[in-house]
Amino acid sequence: MSFPPDSARQTSVTLEQVSLRFDRGVEALHDLNLRVGDGEFLSVVGPSGCGKSTMLRLVAGLLRPTSGSVHIGGDTKLAGRQTRRDISFVFQQPTLLPWRSVEKNVRLPLELRGRVGDEGRRRVAEVIDLVGLRDFARFYPAQLSGGMQMRVSLARALVTRPSLLILDEPFAALDDITRQRLNEELLALWGRDRFTAIFVTHNVSEAVFLSQRVVVMSARPGRVLAEVPVPFSFPRNAELRAEPDFARLTGDVSRTLRESFR
Amino acid sequence: MNPLLHRALALFLPPLVLFALVVIAWNGAVVYWELPPYLVPTPVAVLNVAKENRAALWSGALLTGKAALLGLLASLVVGILIAFVFSQSRLIQRAGYPYAIFLQTVPIVAIAPLIILWFGHGFQSIVIISFIVSLFPIITNTTTGLTTLDPNMVELFEVNNATRLQRLLKLQLPGAVPYIVAGARISSGLSVIGVIVGEFFAGFGGNKFGLGYLIYFANATLKTSYLFAAVISSTLLGLAMFALITGIGNLLTLRWRGTR
Ligand SMILES: Nc1ncnc2c1ncn2[C@@H]1O[C@H](COP(=O)(O)OP(=O)(O)O)[C@@H](O)[C@H]1O
Ligand SMILES: [Mg+2]
């Protein structure tokens, strides 16, 4: 069996007039409209508590909107069980099972799908290789640095060849150098597989470096305040961060973000 | 110095020094206040009695230890099953919890005679009493372990469309292991106490006597030195149980604690 056939790679995300009110009356999102193209790399920035994680959970089908609709891959249904198989989620914490080795943590999504045959094993080895952890496959999470743990988390997300990768401040807890290196690695992985990526971050420079478009959200209840296209061509490398255009765009986004704090 | 030896010394030296001090103070008190031996015997007298009766004390400790291990094992099996049922629904947990607490608050000396009435004067009744006093920490710890879940981990399983069974086997049960180990450590001491209480009431299993019966017998016949020897033996047995369970637990949770 092959991992999702190429015909399945049509996921794009559409949120229309999405509002979400939690049980205790907190309105996290209000009339949010957002469209993410096939294979697009989109970053989302916004004040803390503005509903970024909530929006990601809606897209992943972990929450349902109070009103409005969430479409995945042109599908008119809400994000549900079936489409979820094609989505991977990377959290701020590595969220690894401490009693499982790197290899077995990465294998988990395949196990849960009942797909650990020879091909599954090959795929596990391949993604571990891709994130540069070949020599650490048998290590346990506690034996790895924070950056390495996050690489394991990325490998686990990629093992199923998702067409949509959702990342919720994945590198926020890492030091700057490690964060930048992981940015470059993530971009290389994206260039290779061209999954759709929605990347939430607090770090404007990171958002600009990674994505084709940056969405700035308003303070709670969250909605889209501004969309900033990022024109730099791919592949991008570390030198981009030193370019004047990069600094100017980062400044623009930062200014918009400051306004969003009101 | 050899680091292993160093660690062993650091672990055992302080309690041994304390023990020596207590023995010296005890001896001093007996001599100073001229306490009669039937009230407080000297350490030397206790040691002599222990030596004379070492066969009985040893076989008593073995019998009591065996009953405690069986009681603890039974409480692990049943406690984990009950915790598993509790973890399946809040309603079930709310319904069952008061009865689990009952296990902890009921005075075991009050129900021990009842157990013996139902299950006879023998080994099985003693194991059942030990089982009852060991059960509560296993239930509460395991329930906590099964229901204390990292919300992100739960979402990870949900995004991957995991079934309830998959979540239980791959997330909840392994996650509960350190909690079960902690519960078993608490219960290891309780299980010995349970057996001793049981033996007070039903100490004759054929012609073999556990430490609890020896304590009862020594007390009833005012053999105070023997009583001291039996009490100290049962304390050592409790320590040994605790050490055994802690050792097994440490081995089981090596990975959970971040070393191989
Ligand atoms: N399960 C929940 N129940 C109630 N309120 C919640 C819940 N999850 C998040 N919130 C609230 O919704 C708002 C948005 O949260 P979140 O999406 O986590 O923000 P962000 O990720 O942008 O920091 C916050 O005010 C938060 O307190
Ligand atoms: Mg968040």
Instruction: Evaluate if residue A81 carries a pLDDT over 90.
Output: no
Question: What's the CA gap between A138 and A127, in Å, rounded?
Answer: 14
Instruction: Evaluate if residue B118 carries a pLDDT over 50.
Output: yes
Instruction: Evaluate if residue A2 carries a pLDDT over 80.
Output: no
Supply the mean pLDDT for chain A: 89
**pLDDT tens per residue across span A199-238:** 999 999 999 999 999 999 998 888 899 999 999 998 999 9
Distance A26 CA to ligand 1 centre (A): 8
A125's CB contacts (< 8 A; 6+ apart) are A134, A137
Asked if residue B142 lies in contact with residue B176, where contact means CB atoms within 8 angstroms, the answer is yes
Distance B107 CA to ligand 2 centre (A): 50
A142's CB contacts (< 8 A; 6+ apart) are A98, B255, B257, B258, B259
pLDDT band, residue B4 (cuts 50/70/90): confident
Q: Provide, as residue numbers in chain A, all residues whose Cβ is less than 8 Å from the Cβ of B157.
A: 112
End-to-end, the C-alpha distance of chain B in Å comes to 25
Select from A23, A26, A52 the residue to mutate for testing ligand 1; criterion: most ligand atoms less than 8 Å from CB.
A26
**pLDDT tens per residue across span B94-108:** 998 888 888 888 888
Interface residue A84 vs chain B (CB under 8 A):
yes
Contact A109 B160 (CB under 8 A): yes
How far B141 CA lies from chain A's nearest CA (Å)? 19
The HSE-up count of residue A87 (CA atoms within 13 Å, CB side) is: 28
Q: What is the pLDDT of residue B114?
A: 92
Question: What's the CA gap between B134 and A39, in Å, rounded?
Answer: 58
Contact A97 B153 (CB under 8 A): yes
Q: What percent of chain B has pLDDT over 70?
A: 96
Q: What is the pLDDT of residue A1?
A: 33
Pick the CATH number of B60-259 from 1.20.210.10, 3.10.560.10, 2.60.120.260, 1.10.3720.10: 1.10.3720.10
Stretch among A131-135, B72-76, B219-223 having the lowest mean pLDDT:
B219-223
Q: Is B247 exposed, middle or buried (0-12, 13-18, 19+ CB in 10 A)?
A: exposed
pLDDT band, residue B49 (cuts 50/70/90): very high
Q: Which residue has the tokens 């995300």?
A: A13
B44's CB contacts (< 8 A; 6+ apart) are B27
Q: Long-range contacts for B165-168 (Cβ within 8 Å, ≥24 apart)?
A: B166/A111, B166/A112
Please choose, from the candidates A193, A132, A202, the residue with its C-alpha nearest in 3D space to the C-alpha of residue A170. Answer: A202
At residue A128's C-alpha, the angle toward residues A123 and A132, to 5°, is 145
Instruction: Evaluate if residue A4 carries a pLDDT over 50.
Output: no
Write phi, then psi, for B57 (nearest 5 degrees).
Answer: -65, -40
Q: What is the pLDDT of residue A262?
A: 65
3-state DSSP call for residue A62?
coil
pLDDT band, residue B259 (cuts 50/70/90): low
Q: Atom 17 (ligand 1): residue with closest C-alpha?
A: A51
Q: Provide, as residue numbers in chain B, all residues whose Cβ is less than 8 Å from the Cβ of A108.
A: 160, 170
Nearest-by-CA chain A residue for B172: A97
Question: Is it true that the peptide bond before A235 is cis, omega within 30 degrees of 0?
Answer: yes
Q: What is the pLDDT of residue A8?
A: 44
Question: What's the CA gap between A243 and A5, in Å, rounded?
Answer: 39
ipTM for the complex? Answer: 0.90
**Averaged pLDDT, B235-243:** 94
Q: What is the pLDDT of residue B202?
A: 80
Question: What's the CA gap between B40 and A179, in Å, rounded?
Answer: 70
Angle between helices B173-202 and B224-252 (to 10 degrees): 170
Domain boundaries, chain A: 9-86+163-242+254-262, 94-161
Contact A97 B158 (CB under 8 A): no
Instruction: Evaluate if residue A197 carries a pLDDT over 60.
Output: yes
Ligand 1 pocket residues where CB is under 6 Å: A 22, 24, 26, 28, 46, 48-54, 220
End-to-end, the C-alpha distance of chain A in Å comes to 53
Q: What is the pLDDT of residue B77?
A: 97
Alpha-carbon dihedral of residues B109, B112, B114, B120, nearest 10 degrees? -150
State the DSSP H helix or E strand holding residue A32, giving kind and residue range, or none if neither.
Answer: strand A27-36
Distance A168 CA to ligand 2 centre (A): 7
Cα A88 to chain centroid, rounded:
8
Q: What is the pLDDT of residue A7?
A: 42
Q: What is the pLDDT of residue A25?
A: 85
Please choose, from the candidates B29, B59, B55, the residue with its C-alpha nearest in 3D space to the C-alpha of residue B43. Answer: B29
Domain boundaries, chain B: 60-259
- pTM of model > 0.90: no
Contact B158 A62 (CB under 8 A): yes
**pLDDT tens per residue across span A37-68:** 999 999 999 999 999 999 999 999 999 999 99
Supply the mean pLDDT for chain B: 91
Pick the CATH number of A9-86+163-242+254-262 from 3.20.20.150, 3.90.1150.10, 3.40.50.2300, 3.40.50.300: 3.40.50.300
Question: What's the CA gap between A67 and A83, in Å, rounded?
Answer: 20
3-state DSSP call for residue A247?
helix
Contact B255 A87 (CB under 8 A): no
**pLDDT tens per residue across span B151-185:** 999 999 999 999 999 999 999 999 999 999 999 99
Interface residue B181 vs chain A (CB under 8 A):
no
